[in-house]
Amino acid sequence: MTAPARTLLIGSQGQLGSDLRRVWDGELVSFAHGQLDICDRDQTHAVIANAAPQLVINTAAYHRVDDCEENGDRAFQVNALGAKNVADAAREAGAAVIFISTDYVFSGDKGSPYTETDIPMPLSVYGASKLAGEHLVRQSNPRHYIVRSSGLFGLAGASGKGGNFVETMLRKAKAGEPLRVVDDQVSTPTLTYDLAGKLQELAATGRYGLYHVTNSGQTSWCQFAAKIFELAGLQPRLTPITSDELAAPAARPAYSVMENRALTDAGLSQPRPWEEALADYLREKGHLVR
């Protein structure tokens, strides 16, 4: 099986979209939000039919997790119905589809890494809307890759979130702000460059289905912050807090580490540890001191 000759990328200016444009080997036709809104069914069908791709990658999302609690309509419009528009249009054009989902489809109660066969139970509107997107994509287009990842950070920063966790931590530390960061939510930070590379490998397999794709290892947000500061040579006042103390509007899983079991089953290698990916990111950004 070889990589698709012509691929259409949606959400091209985002964090993952930007790294897909960097790594993708093969013809890539890119659409930014201003050029294609996946909530517009007719536009989505027209654009995909016109481009005649073999593969469509949908990175678009409404993923301000706390805001989704208040704006459930918008969350489901983009993350579920928009995902269906893309999957339908891809099917009609004879193309496969990649949909990016999240560890927030899980409740976090399992206590050990989630595999692709574990039953999702989202705690938030965002997680529910992405899970609905998974179901609609699966039902719409048999040639789908549904890829769950977590804690994305990449050079472009998440456009939908106004940056990423690493940059937020660095900015606050350099401004001398005291930092209170949750220490009871454990997941796996994942570099979008690494995820993009794995998506390319996956697309060449033709083995459709559900995949977990994260960097290796696990950490809490507070320990992640501590590692960022260690590598960047900063020593801000960092206070671990609990999710209850933070009292964010959306509930998040306490433990949403995912095992990339289906990747192994497909004969693909595991992504490197998140610490290595972070060091590379900081080096490219000019933040690394050691």
Could you identify the residue written with the tokens 């320990």? 223
Answer yes or no whether residue 63 interacts with ligand NAP by CB under 6 A. Answer: yes
Of the candidate residues 4, 122, 127, 151, the single one contacting ligand NAP (CB under 6 A): 151
Stretch that binds ligand NAP, among 152-160, 166-174, 242-250, 273-281 (CB under 6 A): 152-160
| Tokens matching residue 120 | 């999702």
- Binding of residue 152 to ligand NAP (CB under 6 A): yes
Q: Which is nearer to ligand NAP, 11 or 120 (CB)?
A: 11
Residue 27, strand partner residues: 6
Identity (one letter) of the amino acid at 188? T
Is there binding between residue 160 and ligand NAP (CB under 6 A)? yes
- Beta carbon nearer to ligand NAP, 78 or 93: 78
CB 83 within 8 A of CB 131: no
Catalytic one among 126, 193, 255, 281? 126
Q: Does 100 sit near ligand NAP (CB under 6 A)?
A: yes
Q: Which residue is nearest to ligand NAP (CB)?
A: 14
Nearest-angstrom CA–CA distance, 238 and 179: 5
Site string for ligand NAP, 29-48 (x = CB under 6 A): ----x--xxxx---------
Which range touches ligand NAP (CB under 6 A), out of 149-157, 228-236, 260-268, 281-289? 149-157
| CA 33 – CA 49 distance, rounded (Å) | 18
Residue type, 276: E
Among 3, 8, 9, 10, binds ligand NAP (CB under 6 A): 10
Residue closest to 144 by CA, chosen among 206, 81, 192: 206
Q: Is residue 85 a contact point for ligand NAP (CB under 6 A)?
A: no
* Burial label, 18 (beta-carbon count in 10 A; 0-12, 13-18, 19+): buried
Binds ligand NAP (CB under 6 A): choice among 102, 129, 141, 188: 102
Q: Is the C-alpha dihedral spanning 268, 272, 277, 280 positive or negative?
A: negative
What is the DSSP code (8-state) at residue 58? E
Residue type, 54: Q
- List the structure tokens of 161: 């979130």
126 counts as catalytic: yes
List residues with catalytic annotation.
Answer: 126
Q: Which residues bind ligand NAP (CB under 6 A)?
A: 10-11, 13-17, 33, 36-39, 59-63, 78, 82, 100, 102, 149-152, 158-160
